[in-house]
Structure 1
Amino acid sequence: MNEISNDRNFIGRGWSFPPQFDRSLKAVRMTEDEEDINNSLTILLSTIVGERVMDMNYGCNMDEMVFEALDTSTITFIKSKISKAILFYEARIEVQKLEINTQDILEGVILVEIEYIVSATNNRFNFVYPFFRTEGTELSSIKAI
């Protein structure tokens, strides 16, 4: 029983993302286990390299891919960037499968689908990160004059 407890401690505990506060407890909401790993992956994939003062190499720079043509070489490059970032900054997991889903590309959405195993518990999980290629959300309501 103690070994399982130690494995869970390795998985970790951290602030929720985005940060949420509980007024009654006067504390920040914490996440644990796989939820903490998923939050960590979201932060990693949405952080620009150089954005963190204490670790200037942390991040994935997905924003620089927004205007790139989505061909085979670009998809391979994106997968490589993500795999490298996870390898260096999320040691708690082993990526089993990494796919770029372009099914909703015409809506400006690319889904990064990551299938991983938590090293400490050998449990398998899926994580989907939505990468948006367009910023505008109400473009259809704009009328030409």
Structure 2
Amino acid sequence: MVSENDFLGRGWSFPPAFNPQSSPKSVAMTAGLADIERSLHILLTTQPGERLMVPDFGCDLQDILFEPISTALQARVKDRVETAILYFEPRIDPLDVTIEEPPEQPGLLLITVNYRVRSTNTRYNFVYPFYKNEGTEISNSADPSSLPSFSR
């Protein structure tokens, strides 16, 4: 009998890891839905140009790191995520991508991807937290007097 994991695929875990206790020694693998979600995470965290043989792979989210969060920015992020998934994750159909900024956590964008796995016609969602560090944020830890002093 064929399992759902056979349909969804199997790949190396990332970052690559090895199973030294197995005989013969083997590479740690991910399969099924975990493989798809790991692939989405890698896709959203990779900058275009980072992959040696696939220079277009990735989602250029670091480019918007210091821009103020606005409706236009959210539309750009949504477009970049949808385009990256369409080109580089053929196992799924993105149904909806939403961008949300929780009011209790300023500087955080929650990128939610609702998708359907093509081979099983099953719906899932993936939430990617994208943290924007504000360049103007000043905290007490930046005060030199709060740093420990070292004596010789």
TM-score by length of 2: 0.82
Q: Cα gap change, 1:109/1:140 in structure 2, threshold over 3 Å: closer, same or farther?
A: farther
Unaligned runs of at least 5 residues, structure 1? none
Identity %: 40
CA offset at residue 10 of structure 1?
A: 4.2
Cα deviation digits, residues 119-144 of structure 1 (max 9, x gap) = 00011111111111129xxx654443
* 1:101-120 alignment runs, 5 A limit: 101-103=100-102, 106-120=105-119
Max radius of gyration: which structure? 2
**Which residue pairs with 1:19 in the alignment?**
16
1:8·1:120 contact (CA, 8 Å) conserved in 2?
A: no
**Which residue pairs with 1:33 in the alignment?**
32
How many correspondences in the alignment?
140
TM-score by length of 1: 0.85
CA offset at residue 20 of structure 1?
A: 2.6
**Which residue pairs with 2:6 in the alignment?**
9
Q: Cα gap change, 1:140/1:100 in structure 2, threshold over 3 Å: closer, same or farther?
A: farther
Unaligned runs of at least 5 residues, structure 2? 146-152
User: Aligned partners of 1:28, 1:107: CA distance in 2, in Å?
Assistant: 40
User: Aligned partners of 2:4, 2:144: CA distance in 1, in Å?
Assistant: 59
Q: Does 1:144 align with 2:144?
A: yes
* 1:43-62 alignment runs, 5 A limit: 43-62=42-61
Q: Cα gap change, 1:87/1:74 in structure 2, threshold over 3 Å: closer, same or farther?
A: same
More helix by share: 1
Q: Does 1:84 align with 2:83?
A: yes
Moved over 3 A (4+): 6-10, 104-107, 139-144
* 1:94-105 alignment runs, 5 A limit: 94-103=93-102
RMSD (Å) for aligned C-alpha atoms: 2.2
2:4·2:32 contact (CA, 8 Å) conserved in 1?
A: no
Q: Cα gap change, 1:130/1:104 in structure 2, threshold over 3 Å: closer, same or farther?
A: farther
